[in-house]
Amino acid sequence: MSDICEDCAEKSEVVSRHFIQNVIDKDLEEGTYSKIVTRFPPEPNGYLHIGHARSILLNSGLAKEYGGDFHLRFDDTNPTKEKAEYVDSIMEDVRWICGELDREKVFYASDYFDAMYDCAVKLIQKGKAYVCDLSAEQIREYRGTLKEPGKDSPYRERSVEENLDLFERMRAGEFEDGSRVLRAKIDMASSNMNMRDPVLYRVARMEHHNTGDKWCIYPMYDFAHPIEDAVEGVSHSLCTLEFEDHRPLYDWVVRECGFDHPPKQIEFAKLYLTNVVTGKRYIKKLVEDGIVDGWDDPRLVSIAALRRRGFTPESIRMFIELSGISKANSSSDYAMLEYCIREDLKMKRPRMMAILNPIKLVITNYPENEIEYLDVSNNQENEAMGTRKVPFGRVLYIERDDFMIEPPKKYFRLYPGNEVRLMNAYFVTCTDYVTDEAGNVTEVRCTYDPETKSGSGFSGRKVKGTIHWVCAETARKAEIRLYENIVDEEKGVYNEDGTINLNPNSLTVPESSYVEPELAEAEQGESFQFVRQGYFVVDTKDSSKEHLVFNRIVSMKSSYRPK
Ligand code: ATP
Ligand code: MG
């Protein structure tokens, strides 16, 4: 190898590192932390979506890279919106995306309610928190605005003893919901609104899925979250940009509560997909209105929906990798996600034949009642996948648009007098066609040339078009679901009234489709390339051996080119 080449090889191995890795490298170097612990902290109030995959993979990836721990922590401190059913789906999704999930590293924020209560007491004892009797509206008024400082609450100077007593009685259920709160005593004139004596605890009689009716006071997010991180020994608490202004409060809480090794909050940009609906509120409405058949409808981008659509964890990981980690908001293209799944399946999945919109093709010089079995390569780009036997006979189905009576220029498929190759089989020449009373073509007739059998080495003449087919006698009927974006991209995603501009063609099912007989044995969730049509997966909800259902994951065409 020459010097130049060695140089190149060296350079290509230098993988660029993102700003969070740089912070961690420095923290380890300076001894600020000796072990890296990260967490993904979902609120169990809905299904996870593709955006969450960025957070999951970022956190779990860093823990892996630095030989640390990754925690899945349910942020279940707000009992009104949470549901136990979401806990199971989130756990399954995280396990699926990461390829593993250490059950020992699954935590619940509600398990720390006692620790949070103790922290609150500690703050009161230090004179850093007080019980306030102002109503929610008054608190808002006293808070001031971005331009004007706030006003101190008249209850701000209560004694430590009185605060301890009142807080204890808040906990004991002596006060009405919303009548009193515990607030941090920081600075009502701070330029950061979050530091103007934020509320730490409120009285709310709510049943909690984990702690039942043990508590009638619940901590606020900005107080609970840093404590959860600190209790678990998290080193780097990664969150999205909207929490940047909350960081001073985060730091205040862990400092004043006296944690020895306080975690560090670092913000990164959310992942957005252009023209794709990710908001829980919108998806919930689509589900409730029956527009989609649940949170896992293949047109959505919840993790459950992407899985049902046929995306693989590998494709999601590649997509997240390509979209990068940054501090600036940006939006990625759905086409990039499609590129990733094509790349992942290309070499791994068998290439089969399926006819979505059939028309009959009769080979008039082929023996009647004869079926021959042709050897067909499962994946021409990956010989290791072997071959299979595909039945061929006198009557086939081909795609309706692979035949035209009067073709335009550059149409190389079937038309009267033209010869094409039947993929993996023979050359055929169109001799005739049959129409119904309305003039619709119902059958195409042709003759075949036995000399031209695929694999025979025939080199007598060339044809320009190759079309695919299935043998009518042995083919299996299948329901094939073709998807487009659920929103009408041309009109824009949202209407002025906040509703979604729905695309009426987001799901189409051709009237009758046929697949190779071997596909009848496919299991739910198994995916295939259907040549010329794209990648398809056996639906995990509706497909059965009697009624096959395939979802199109992605078509063959790509509008995305990697940089
Ligand atoms: P909500 O919309 O109800 O606030 P959420 O999408 O923020 O919900 P959480 O359960 O709070 O859901 O999110 C869990 C974690 O995932 C948080 O740390 C959050 O910052 C991160 N996260 C949420 N959305 C995205 C996104 N689009 N890209 C990257 N990370 C995200
Ligand atoms: Mg949130």
DSSP 253-295: HHHHTT-SS--EEEEEPPEEETT----HHHHHHHHHTTSSSST
Q: Is residue 262 part of a domain?
A: yes
Residue range 149-208, pLDDT digits in tens:
999 999 999 999 999 999 999 999 999 999 999 999 999 999 999 999 999 999 999 999
Our count of domains for the chain comes to 2
My answer on whether 229 and 363 are in the same domain is no
Per DSSP (E only), the strands in 351-399 are 351-352, 354-355, 358-363, 371-377, 387-393, 395-399
User: Which residue puts its alpha carbon closest to atom 22 of ligand 1?
Assistant: 52
Q: Which ligand is nearest to the CA of 239?
A: 1
Indicate if 367 and 261 belong to the same structural domain. Answer: no
540 and 395 within one domain? yes
Ligand nearest to the CA of 283: 1
Question: What's the distance, CA 509 to chain centroid?
Answer: 24
Looking from the CA of residue 42, the nearest atom of ligand 1 is: 10
316 is a domain residue:
no
**Structure tokens belonging to residue 389:** 């036997």
Same domain, 237 and 362: no
Task: Give the binding-site residues of ligand 1, using a 6 Å CB cut-off.
Answer: 41-43, 51-52, 54-55, 239-240, 270-271, 280
The reply to whether 35 falls in a domain is yes
CATH value at residue 110: 3.40.50.620
For residue 292, is it within any domain? no
Closest Cα to atom 27 of ligand 1: 51
Distance 41 CA to ligand 2 centre (A): 9
Report in angstroms the alpha-carbon separations of 212 from 90, 199, 207, 337: 22, 23, 5, 42
Q: Is residue 111 part of a domain?
A: yes
- Residues 264 and 365 both lie in one domain: no
d(CA 14, CA 125): 52
User: For residue 1, what pLDDT is reported?
Assistant: 38
Question: Do 50 and 144 reside in the same domain of the chain?
Answer: yes
pLDDT of residue 563: 64
Rg (CA), the chain: 31
* Residue 325 placed within a domain: no
Report the CATH number at residue 461: 2.40.240.10
Ligand 1, atom 14: nearest CA belongs to which residue?
Answer: 42
Of 199, 234, 268, which closes a domain?
A: 268
Residues 34 and 183 in one domain: yes
Nearest ligand, CA of residue 54?
1
Q: Closest-lying ligand to the alpha carbon of 43?
A: 1
In a domain, 277, yes or no: no
In the three-class reduction of DSSP (H, G, I as helix; E, B as strand; rest coil), residue 78 is classed as coil
Identify the residue whose tokens are 């009638």: 216
Residues 362 and 238 in one domain: no
Has residue 358 been placed in a domain?
yes
| CB 562 within 8 Å of CB 317 | no
Distance 43 CA to ligand 2 centre (A): 7
pLDDT in tens, the chain (563 residues): 344 444 444 444 456 899 999 999 999 999 999 999 999 999 998 899 999 999 999 999 999 999 999 999 999 998 877 677 899 999 999 999 999 999 999 999 999 999 999 999 999 999 999 999 999 999 999 999 999 999 999 999 999 999 999 999 999 999 999 999 999 999 999 999 999 999 999 999 999 988 999 999 999 999 999 999 999 999 999 999 999 999 999 999 999 999 999 999 999 999 999 999 888 888 888 999 999 999 999 999 999 999 999 999 999 999 999 999 999 988 999 999 999 999 999 999 999 999 999 999 999 999 999 999 999 999 999 999 999 999 999 999 999 999 999 999 999 999 999 999 999 999 999 999 999 999 999 999 999 999 999 999 999 999 999 999 999 999 999 999 999 999 998 888 888 887 889 999 999 999 999 999 999 999 999 999 999 999 999 999 999 999 999 999 999 987 777 66
Question: What number does the ligand 1 atom closest to the CA of 238 have?
Answer: 18
Whether residues 263 and 356 share a domain: the answer is no
Ligand whose nearest atom lies closest to the CA of 58: 1
Whether 155 and 19 share a structural domain: yes
Residues 231 and 357 in one domain: no
Q: How far apart are CA 52 and CA 316, in angstroms?
A: 11
In contact, 210 and 239? CB cutoff 8 Å: no
Residue 15 has what pLDDT?
66
Domain endpoint, select from 211, 241, 268 = 268
The 8-class DSSP code of residue 487 comes to B
Q: How far is the CA of 240 from the centre of ligand 2 (A)?
A: 9
Domain of 47 in residue numbering reads as 3-268
Task: Point out the domain boundary residue: 232, 248, 268.
Answer: 268
Pocket probe mutation, ligand 1, options 52, 74, 320, 325, max atoms within 8 Å of Cβ: 52
> Which residue's CA is the nearest one to ligand 1's atom 15?
42
How many A from CA of 185 to the centre of ligand 2?
A: 25
Residue of 55, 57, 78, 331 best suited for mutating to test ligand 1, as the one with most atoms within 8 Å of CB: 55
Nearest CA to ligand 1 atom 13: 42
Residues 426 and 531 in one domain: yes
* pLDDT given at position 5: 44
The alpha carbon of 49 and the centre of ligand 1 are apart by a number of angstroms equal to 9
Tell me: the pLDDT tens digits for 23-62?
999 999 999 999 999 999 999 988 999 999 999 999 999 9
